Structure 1
């Protein structure tokens, strides 16, 4: 039985349809992340799951029970908000136990639950403090502790890390990951940060304009995106989109790319990545998708089959990041980003021989923006 099922849910605000026929299901213990740009409907969907927003049509089930028209209190969920939503006049201990007290849980059980989550989240030394005496990260732990004090069927996290600074976000992201691995809880998590999505999720739902464009594992949405939007949204830096002409026939497809130096670069398309859709696109312009890590520095030990055709472009910008170096280079009718190792000593204006890993390349239809191969 699925822990959460959403069936054909629509949500209208007046004449505007914010959620458009959304359906998904996750099993018990899974970590689902709803990701997408601002205004895509992910927070509205989260609020619908929580019961904070009534749906216009459709059905929501939690652990097999239809909760579509139940109040939030009846749904057996726990939610962690972006704003923490702590009671300023209460201590940390009181904030954590308040929900249990409202549910008439005996005092001894409440105290045991508080001690359990305080130890789990390493906030035992903060139990007698007020929220005003806590840092942002500590407040976030308290908000999580209030949710974890209960044992609901589903935990909901609505952009819980967006108010934290960059380093604290990374630290808290790791803590949430550890927490999920330790407890095996079912979590639905909203974020606009695709790095959070990639690192935390078992399953990612990429949303745009009130629809789910792709639902799959982090590996699937990153390496096998269904369209240009998913491909460009997931990954940092984002995927390079290069205009090319599809040449050849079955078993020998090639992509012809015009370079700024008026040279022609022909990239062989891997036979194992051919699809029937390619036959109807021969001679037409398509979009080649290459991630920055699909470019590698040339190595004589690598065969052309392993790493594709070598090219020697002019490097326009060099961006050291510490762990690696990002290079901007002219390719096709625009620029592309390549990710190379930190020992690369190329300078802007110089040429560098790179190879392209065509075994991981993707191809999109220029008109529909859907995946071709």
Structure 2
């Protein structure tokens, strides 16, 4: 039995349809992340799961029980908000215990629960402080502790790290992942940060305009995007999308012709023919390449090297320490290539590279859906 089932949930505000028959099932112990740009409907879906927003149509089940019209208190969920929502006049101990007290939990059990989560989150030394005496990261730990003390069936996290600075956000991300691995809890987590989604999730649901475009593991979302939006949204730097013309046929093999102003045409063999390509010959397609699909070309191992070679004039080189990001012309615009930190190149110089077409993806030029 799934921990959470969402069946054809719709939500409208006046004439605006914010959720369009969203359906998904989350297994017990799974960490699911809802990701997408602002206004895509992810927070509305989270509020519908929590019971904070009534749905227009559809059904929500928690552990097999229909909770579509239940109040938040009747759903056995705990929520961690973007704002910490701590009571400023209460100590950390009182903040964590407050929800348990409202549920009439005996004092001894409350105190044991507070001590348990404080130890788990390493905030035992902060129990007698008030929120004003805490850092942002400490406040977020307290907000998480208040949710963990309840031991509900599902935890809901609504952009809990967005108010933290960059380093603290990375640290807290690690803590949340450790916490999930240790407790095996069921978590639904909303974020607009695709790096956060990639690092935390068991599965990711990419949303746009009230719909789930793709649901899958981080690896599937990153390596096998179903359309242009998912390809560009997931990944940092994002996937390069290059205009090309499809040539050839199934018998002789397909090729991608890329026209770059001021350069010779580049003709790349496409290694994975599909039935969908036959009707696209002579048409515009989009070649999707991640920055790591480029590699420096070494003539010494030419016979063993994988990928299609080409040369380009580097316009910008951005060392990041672990690697170098290069900007270079390919097609109508520029692409980003990720190379090793010792790559001997300066802006304005030509560099020989290879493209790993075995990991590339191809999209239809009109619909922008995946072709191969």
CA distance in 2, matches of 1:308, 1:314: 19
- Give per-residue Cα distances to partners, 1:86-109, cap 9 Å, x unaligned: 011100000001111111111111
CA distance in 2, matches of 1:58, 1:227: 27
> By how many angstroms is 1:18 displaced?
0.6
Under a length normalisation based on structure 1, what TM-score does the superposition of the two structures give? 0.98
Tell me: CA distance 1:250–1:302, structure 2 relative to 1, closer, same or farther (3 Å): farther
> By how many angstroms is 1:300 displaced?
3.7
> By how many angstroms is 1:302 displaced?
5.3
CA distance in 2, matches of 1:274, 1:40: 34
Aligned to 1:266: 267
Q: Secondary structure at the match of 2:140?
A: helix
Aligned to 1:156: 156
Aligned to 2:369: 370
Tell me: CA distance 1:353–1:32, structure 2 relative to 1, closer, same or farther (3 Å): same
> By how many angstroms is 1:135 displaced?
0.3
Matched-pair contact (CA < 8 Å) for 1:267–1:308: no
> By how many angstroms is 1:299 displaced?
2.5
Q: Secondary structure at the match of 2:128?
A: coil
Matched-pair contact (CA < 8 Å) for 1:4–1:27: yes
Q: Secondary structure at the match of 2:249?
A: coil
Dislocated runs of 4+, deviation >2 Å: 259-262, 299-307
CA distance in 2, matches of 1:78, 1:144: 9
User: What 5-or-longer segments of structure 2 have no aligned partner?
Assistant: none
Tell me: CA distance 1:303–1:104, structure 2 relative to 1, closer, same or farther (3 Å): farther
Matched-pair contact (CA < 8 Å) for 1:243–1:288: yes
2:80 paired with 1:76: no
Under a length normalisation based on structure 2, what TM-score does the superposition of the two structures give? 0.98
> By how many angstroms is 1:305 displaced?
8.1
> By how many angstroms is 1:260 displaced?
2.5
2:321 paired with 1:325: no
- Equivalent residues in 2 for 1:205-220 (5 A)? 205-220=205-220
CA distance in 1, matches of 2:298, 2:148: 51
> By how many angstroms is 1:247 displaced?
1.1
Aligned to 1:190: 190
CA distance in 2, matches of 1:51, 1:301: 63
CA distance in 1, matches of 2:55, 2:306: 50
- Equivalent residues in 2 for 1:1-373 (5 A)? 1-250=1-250, 252-270=253-271, 273-300=272-299, 307-373=306-372
Tell me: CA distance 1:216–1:115, structure 2 relative to 1, closer, same or farther (3 Å): same
CA distance in 2, matches of 1:305, 1:242: 27
CA distance in 1, matches of 2:45, 2:304: 45
CA distance in 1, matches of 2:65, 2:176: 27
CA RMSD of aligned residues (A): 1.1
> By how many angstroms is 1:293 displaced?
0.5
CA distance in 2, matches of 1:16, 1:276: 38
Matched-pair contact (CA < 8 Å) for 1:268–1:308: no
> By how many angstroms is 1:304 displaced?
7.0
CA distance in 2, matches of 1:158, 1:217: 20
User: What 5-or-longer segments of structure 1 have no aligned partner?
Assistant: none
- Give per-residue Cα distances to partners, 1:50-85, cap 9 Å, x unaligned: 000000000001111100000000000000000010
CA distance in 2, matches of 1:305, 1:362: 23
- Give per-residue Cα distances to partners, 1:214-267, cap 9 Å, x unaligned: 000001110000000000000000000100011111151111111233301111
